[in-house]
Copies of this chain bind each other. A is one copy, B any other.
Amino acid sequence: MTVPTSFRHVHAFASADADDVARLGGKGSGLARMTSLGLPVPPGFVVDTGVCKEVLSNGQLPEEIWEEVLGALRDLEALTGRTFGSGPSPLLLSVRSGAAVSMPGMMDTVLDLGASRYLIDDLAAWADDTHFAYDARRRLLQMFGSVVLGITDDRFQRILRATRAEAGVRSDTELDAGHLQKVCDRFEAAIAADDLVVPEDPLLQLRQAITAVYASWNTPRAIHYRKSNGISDDVGTAATVQMMVFGDLGGNSGTGVCFTRNPMTGENTAYGDYLPQAQGEDVVAGLRNTMSLDDLAARHPAVHSSLVSIMDHLEHTTTDMCDIEFTVEREQLFILQTRVGKRSAAAAVRIAVEMAEAGLISFEEAIRRVDPASLEQLGRPAIDRSLATEPTLSGIGASPGAAQGIAVFDPDRAEALAGQGLTVILVREETTPDDIHGMTAAAGILTSQGGKTSHAAVVARGMGRPAVTGAAALEIEGTIAHVGDVRIAEGDEITIDGSTGDVFVGLTPLVEPEPLPELDRLLEWADEVRTLGVRANADNGPDAARARAAGAEGIGLARTEHMFMGERLGIVQSIILTDDPDERERRLDELTATQIGDFEDLLREMDGLPVIVRLLDPPLHEFLPGSVEIGREMLERVRAGEPTDDLETLDRQVRRWSEENPMLGLRGVRLGLVIDDIYRLQIEAALEAVRRRVASGGDPRLELMIPLVSTSEELTAMRSVVDHAVESINKISDSPIHVEVGTMIELPRAALTADEIAAQADFFSFGTNDLTQMTFGLSRDDAEGAFLGHYLDRGILPKDPFRTLDVKGVGRLIQLAVAAGRAAKPNLPIGVCGEHGGDPDSIDFFLSQGLDYVSVSPPRVPVARLAAAQAELRAFDRGSVLS
């Protein structure tokens, strides 16, 4: 065996340092590692990433690097005993890209370099196969033509189509040598028509191909991919030059892909596809049906057995499930590539847990292995992608999971039809608190407007209903919707995929999730690791029960406004609109009675655990119809010649409550102080629920949370109302009650004056959604449609601050508030009840700031448990929890 020469930027697989991924790129490093493990890898060498920048700026490979390539090529010829570009044992080469960070399919590859016209006869003689020789040349012309010369692949595809038609065959593999020769001639003619040429000199082919592979770093799609995935443009790619092996040298050859475990289910059995008489691209193209690994075993037992032992070897070496590309060239197995295999969310959990239990990886590593966000969809059915057709339209995947049923355009109808046992998808332009009963009754929600935090999205996530929002192509008029020419009437079946935003007309096949015992084990391990508490945002008994079952350690946020909706909306509206104080008092009493039950449910389900109830947050006009809505109805009435007096009265009243900027208006504690009876009703109902729970032997731990506090005086005023109410209950009750009173920190001023506010608060809870809106001066709903996307595309914002906490700005306020709050009250409990509570990057920050818990919607409780454990491990890696 020849010892490879040592170069500066060119590294033979056999002598390269496989750990130096930064220089070799992922693919080069993998090939070097497999080579060093003694696996049957076709030999070759890597031109490293250090060359990339220079090639990109000069447009060609520097001379001294080319000299190194020629040296490595000499070594390769010596090693293989073949010659690049000449017989009798001709060497063909591939050139592939490969950056340190995986960018699957983003960059280019050129195969069969060296298959010049003059070599056809030698190739045919070597392989004893003329068809093979022309096919190799055909592939060279096509890939060199498109990747190096920049001719669109369409041109080549047209020629292939025409030739297939002439030959009367359906696939390229059915073309015989004569046809392929004609294809080669036609390809050459097409290239010449553009005044271009594939050089006959194989060295020129190689040099141009390497240059082109480097250049593919800067294709628009690669740039876009890096931007979307946060990969730096400076990393650069390497180019891997490798001996071609051939899966298309007759029936004893073939090519395949295998996984060391089942990537769909995680089951610990090898899983893969094999295609005889084929090259790698043919598998990917999916034109022919593949065989299973069992078929391979039957056909080539020796090959199968070495593949199995290689799989075993690789999985133990990488300590993860591997995805392996292999080729069989006349009964000889070659491994072309291996990497950590992609897997479904369920498989990720099962593989991690089983590997940890088998001692292959640590429990901590198992925790790290699973993407927390993926857990959310585990409990929900999904579209069966293997059977799905093209979606009819697309919107924003606002609440994951798939749902299907009949389209209904009105919440009352939705409730009625669901009551008759029908499965309903509620379809609306957007939803309002008026629609809650319809949303509750529906299996899924589809809106044509709104983003990830529209009313529909937030409520659907909270309810665990799949939802697609902002499907702008959907035009709804009354009980009919149109998507271009497609018409959807009430009762038509539709399917929505809240994970992807896809919407299908008709019933697309779904797959139901299997129960996953490994998940429980993983989350138990996570609970042992994490220090950050996890609570749930839940507004009613069933949600609270679901959250507790999912592992929530209390309720971090019960939004009482949700208790004002549905059938109670009428009561709430008359409270707001009536001018008669007696009527108001009566209606308030009515509402109090129902609220007591709501609070009892929550406290019962969370007995012994903290339950944070937030007093009314939204402005009152959210419970009223809108002026525009009323205007439309008025117009209709006038057109129909009907009287409009009642609407005019309503309009006047509605307008009295309307605000320019409702988010900055009369809501939260302001409402509680100015229109005090609604808060008083809520406080009384909550305390009465506590009293009843205590009286019946429960352990209610109510904490009342005051929203939108900006000054300590607001909190002082509200807390004295609560304290008085508690006193008067305890004066006459046998079993005294106790409640805590705390506040949201969701306005910059609250964060800036947290010391004063802490003196009045038993706890803090950061409302990071509002805090982000106020800190940026940005209404999320307005921004998402209008310019947030533009900002993210241009890199003006690195990430969506409503998903990943803006540490520099909003985070600074949180830091100031925690420091000031704890300085005033050292053991002040502090949590987060915004959507950021479930985001891993944000959780890292919350942990680093010493927060006590995050609170998330019930389906995200497992997500948060796992993410909190991962945050803990990352903090441990950084050497400290408090950065």
Interface residues of A (CB under 8 A from B): 627-628, 631-632, 634-635, 638-639, 655, 659-666, 670, 673-674, 708, 710-711, 713-714, 717, 746-749, 752-753, 756, 770, 773-779, 781-783, 786-787, 790-791, 794-797, 806, 808-810, 812-813
Contacts and interface: CB of A to CB of B under 8 A. Distances in A.
A655 B430 CA distance: 14
26 contacts: A627-B627, A635-B635, A659-B779, A659-B782, A660-B663, A660-B782, A661-B781, A663-B664, A664-B777, A664-B778, A665-B782, A666-B783, A673-B790, A673-B794, A673-B796, A710-B775, A710-B776, A710-B777, A711-B796, A714-B796, A717-B796, A747-B777, A749-B776, A752-B775, A752-B812, A774-B775
B664 A779 contact: yes
Given A661-B782, A663-B661, A664-B778, A794 B717 contact: yes
A812 B632 CA distance: 47
A134 B779 CA distance: 74
A791 B662 CA distance: 18
Contacts of A665: 779, 782-783, 786
A662 B787 CA distance: 13
A806 B673 contact: no
A808 B661 contact: no
Given A794-B717, A796-B711, A774 B787 contact: no
Contacts of A806: 749
Interface of A is mostly: helix
A808 B816 CA distance: 13
Given A673-B791, A717-B796, A747-B775, 4 more contacts: A631-B632, A665-B786, A673-B790, A748-B774
A795 B655 CA distance: 29
A660 B454 CA distance: 11
Given A659-B779, A806-B749, A664 B773 contact: yes
Contact of A774 (B634, B670, B756, B777): B777
Query: What 7 A-B pairs come out closest when comparing CB atoms?
Result: A664-B779, A631-B631, A749-B809, A661-B779, A747-B777, A665-B782, A748-B748
Nearest to A715: B796
A753 B808 contact: yes
From A713, A775, A795, A797, residue with most partner B Cβ within 10 Å:
A775
A620 to B, nearest CB: 11
A846 to B, nearest CB: 18
B776 A673 contact: no
B810 A749 contact: yes
From A747, A777, A791, A809, residue with most partner B Cβ within 10 Å:
A777
Contact of A635 (B638, B778, B781): B638
A507 to B, nearest CB: 34
A777 to B, nearest CB: 4
Given A660-B781, A774-B748, A794-B717, A787 B670 contact: yes
A782 B657 CA distance: 10
A674 B791 CA distance: 8
Contacts of A753: 808-809, 812
A673 to B, nearest CB: 7
A721 B421 CA distance: 60
Contacts of A779: 659-661, 664-665
A103 B753 CA distance: 33
Nearest to A772: B749
Given A748-B813, A749-B776, A782 B638 contact: no
A15 to B, nearest CB: 44
A470 to B, nearest CB: 14
Contact of A748 (B632, B638, B708, B809): B809
Contacts of A794: 673, 717
A782 B664 contact: yes
B796 A713 contact: yes
Given A631-B631, A659-B782, A673-B787, A797 B713 contact: yes
Given A711-B796, A777-B770, A782-B659, A674 B752 contact: no
A845 B661 CA distance: 29
A669 to B, nearest CB: 9
From A638, A708, A746, residue with most partner B Cβ within 10 Å:
A638
A311 B25 CA distance: 96
A664 to B, nearest CB: 4
A765 to B, nearest CB: 16
Contact of A795 (B666, B713, B791, B810): B713
A200 B796 CA distance: 86
Contacts of A717: 794, 796
Given A782-B660, A796-B673, A752 B808 contact: yes
Contacts of A748: 748, 774-775, 777, 809, 813
A690 to B, nearest CB: 27
A877 to B, nearest CB: 28
A808 B714 CA distance: 15
A262 to B, nearest CB: 44
Contacts of A752: 775, 808-809, 812-813
Given A638-B635, A664-B778, A779-B664, A797 B749 contact: no
A502 to B, nearest CB: 25
Nearest to A717: B796
Contacts of A635: 631, 634-635, 638
Contacts of A711: 796-797
Contacts of A747: 775-777
A747 to B, nearest CB: 4
Contacts of A631: 627-628, 631-632, 634-635
A748 B772 CA distance: 10
Contacts of A773: 664
A749 B790 CA distance: 19
A787 B669 CA distance: 11
A429 to B, nearest CB: 11
Contacts of A661: 661-664, 779, 781-782
